[in-house]
Chain A
Amino acid sequence: MEAILGVINKILALGASVIMPIVICIMELIFGMKPKNAIRSGLTVGIGFVGVNLAVGLIGGNLGNLIAALQDKYHLALSITDVGWPAGSSIAFGSGTFVVISILVFMLVNAVSVLLKLTNTLNIDIFNYWHHILIGTMSWFVSGSMVVGVIVGAVFMLINTILADKHEETFVDYGGERWRGLSFPSQGIPLQMYFVRGVNWVLDRIPVIRDINFNFGKLPGIFSFLGEPMILGFLLGGIFSLAVGYAWDKALSVAVSMAAAMYILPRMVSIMMEGLSPLTDVARDFMNKKFAGRKLNISIDTALLVGDPDVITMGVIMVPVVLGLAFILPGNKFLPFTDLPALPYWVIPAVYGTKHNSFRALISATLCMAISLYIATDLAPLITQMATNVGFEFAQGTTISGFFAGWEWPGYILHKIVELIF
């Protein structure tokens, strides 16, 4: 018995890259997958983790130094490294048992809420459970109890799902009937759509301003080029390096490294996703079969909405805006970087909530970003702790965070409640 416990403890100490393959493989075997396929996909997930760790290390090494230098030289308060949402998903998926229990509980809660007609949406988008698992993990850490964590995660998912149902018409309005039956319960969209509507309501009451309605339209090709992850990484890496006084050759080297980090990190998450694919399929088929016959919505990754030219344009425009906000907002310590190419995701509520009125979208997005910067700052120590726990390695003294934490407002509120209790 002793020996077995010893082995289990050793495995748990190895981190996500070892635990996840084992856990995923077992889950897939339970769902009836062939052993060869289960082993292959489980191992792929672990490989994805190793890859993400490598890429995050690349970011932490270079960006971390830049941030420290920026702090020294300009006495800025910006001390937090942005690791981006792909890393966020890895952190969420990293905690072995907690993840498995959460996924199963979420599926159960979803099924029950559908039966009770609380919602019409079947949450088959298992990959995006990571948002809810992340919030759950935060509560787990703060309360010391996995049970509390799973409950909070489930409540968060339920809130998001119910709220997301209400926005179906807004999306169908724009995208047409092909988007009927879809629901977007992640990336902060459910609550922020209401926030943006609130902003709209206020703007409606200001004379002159309320009549401004234009659309930026498509930006010249040069802007989408500049918004590409590798280009943005290269430029910002270079600019920040020069700003802190690196010699031109060192600045070039850092610029290429940052371009590499921005390009490689998503690819690594891609690998992880490849591994999760079969499990997602099998879980989804299972849910579909159980609910065959009832007309239900399904949850879908927000990547669907990011092809919208207005969203892309707004995302690119927000890059300088959010950087500016990061520097001037008092008390903000979070420097957005890795998630800058992903800004299109974060402006979706602003664009759709204002019915594609670019002027209002810009105002709404700026407000949303400001709030999220503060939340990301506040949650940084906890996120860093969670990341270290799943095996990510950082240089001494590095704190990390991301918009994935700053953007989930209901989750933040729930987290604060749990913090108060414990």
Chain B
Amino acid sequence: MGRIFKLLAACGSGIATSSHVSTSLKNGLMARGVEILVRTCSVQEISGLIDSLKPDAIVTTSSLESVKNLGDIKVVSGIPFLTGFQKDPLLDELAEYLNGL
């Protein structure tokens, strides 16, 4: 379809787990024919990035309780990418959601 979706990969620090999740997301979604742009970030940076980047979805390994402007953006847990469990169902779900946007 040619559209590149924008995702945020968030974790506590924006360094370790979010990078890992970002790589897994890119590879997993690409294998499902979905092209994405991923910006890794820390939980503290999310509010600002929601305004500036307007992401299509957020994948997080940390709690987003402190983020006030989430609105309707789809939020999924990135834990499956860390543990390996339920990784494929999650990628399927994301691919389906993004293609439906």
- What chain A residues lie within 8 Å of B20 (beta carbons)? 127, 273-274, 276-277, 280
Partner of B12, one of A89, A280, A302: A302
The CA-CA distance from A342 to B12 in the complex, in Å, is 9
CB-CB contacts below 8 Å: B58-96 with A:
60-66, 77, 79, 82-85
CB-CB contacts below 8 Å: A197-250 with B:
218, 224, 227-228
Verify A266–B13 contact, CB threshold 8 A. Answer: yes
CB-CB contacts below 8 Å: A283-315 with B:
284-285, 288, 298, 300-309, 312
The CA-CA distance from A304 to B83 in the complex, in Å, is 13
Verify B12–A304 contact, CB threshold 8 A. Answer: yes
The CA-CA distance from A304 to B18 in the complex, in Å, is 10
Verify B15–A306 contact, CB threshold 8 A. Answer: no
For residue A269, CB closer than 8 A to chain B, the reply is yes
Residues of chain B at interface, number, CB under 8 A: 31
The CA-CA distance from A329 to B39 in the complex, in Å, is 41
- What chain A residues lie within 8 Å of B79 (beta carbons)? 300, 304
For residue A49, CB closer than 8 A to chain B, the reply is no
- What chain A residues lie within 8 Å of B13 (beta carbons)? 266, 303, 306, 342, 345
- What chain B residues lie within 8 Å of A127 (beta carbons)? 16, 20
The chain A residue with its CB closest to the CB of B67 is A307
Verify A281–B24 contact, CB threshold 8 A. Answer: yes
- What chain B residues lie within 8 Å of A224 (beta carbons)? 44, 66
The CA-CA distance from A312 to B23 in the complex, in Å, is 26
Chain B residues touching A, majority SS: mixed
Verify A277–B43 contact, CB threshold 8 A. Answer: no
For residue A351, CB closer than 8 A to chain B, the reply is no
Number of A-B residue pairs, CB cutoff 8 Å, is 103
Verify A303–B84 contact, CB threshold 8 A. Answer: no
CB-CB contacts below 8 Å: A325-357 with B:
342, 344-345
Q: Given A266-B14, A269-B15, A285-B84, are A307 and B43 neighbors across the interface (CB < 8 Å)?
A: yes
For residue B34, CB closer than 8 A to chain A, the reply is no
CB-CB contacts below 8 Å: B1-43 with A:
11-20, 22-24, 40, 42-43
For residue A86, CB closer than 8 A to chain B, the reply is yes
Verify B14–A270 contact, CB threshold 8 A. Answer: yes
- What chain A residues lie within 8 Å of B65 (beta carbons)? 307-309
Chain A, interface residues (CB within 8 Å), range:
35 or more
Partner of B40, one of A270, A278, A307, A308: A270
Q: Given A288-B84, A312-B44, are A307 and B62 neighbors across the interface (CB < 8 Å)?
A: yes
The CA-CA distance from A345 to B15 in the complex, in Å, is 13
Verify B66–A301 contact, CB threshold 8 A. Answer: no
Partner of B23, one of A277, A284, A300, A306: A277
Q: Given A218-B66, A304-B62, are A270 and B44 neighbors across the interface (CB < 8 Å)?
A: no
Verify B17–A304 contact, CB threshold 8 A. Answer: yes
For residue A82, CB closer than 8 A to chain B, the reply is no
Q: Given A303-B62, A308-B63, are A125 and B15 neighbors across the interface (CB < 8 Å)?
A: no
Q: What 0/1 readout, one digit per residue, does chain A (148-172) give for beta carbons within 8 Å of chain B? A: 0000000000000000000000000
Q: Which of A175, A306, A345 has the most CB of B within 10 A?
A: A306
For residue A124, CB closer than 8 A to chain B, the reply is yes
- What chain A residues lie within 8 Å of B44 (beta carbons)? 224, 227-228, 312
The chain A residue with its CB closest to the CB of B66 is A309
The CA-CA distance from A161 to B53 in the complex, in Å, is 39
Known: A274-B23, A307-B60. 10 other contacts (CB 8 A): A128-B16, A224-B66, A270-B18, A280-B20, A281-B84, A303-B16, A304-B79, A306-B43, A309-B66, A312-B43
Q: Which residues of A contact B (CB under 8 A)?
A: 86, 89, 124-125, 127-128, 175, 178, 218, 224, 227-228, 266, 269-271, 273-274, 276-278, 280-281, 284-285, 288, 298, 300-309, 312, 342, 344-345
Q: Which residues of B contact A (CB under 8 A)?
A: 11-20, 22-24, 40, 42-45, 60-66, 77, 79, 82-85
- 9 shortest A-B CB distances, which residue pairs? A306-B12, A307-B62, A303-B12, A307-B63, A273-B19, A303-B11, A277-B23, A309-B66, A270-B19
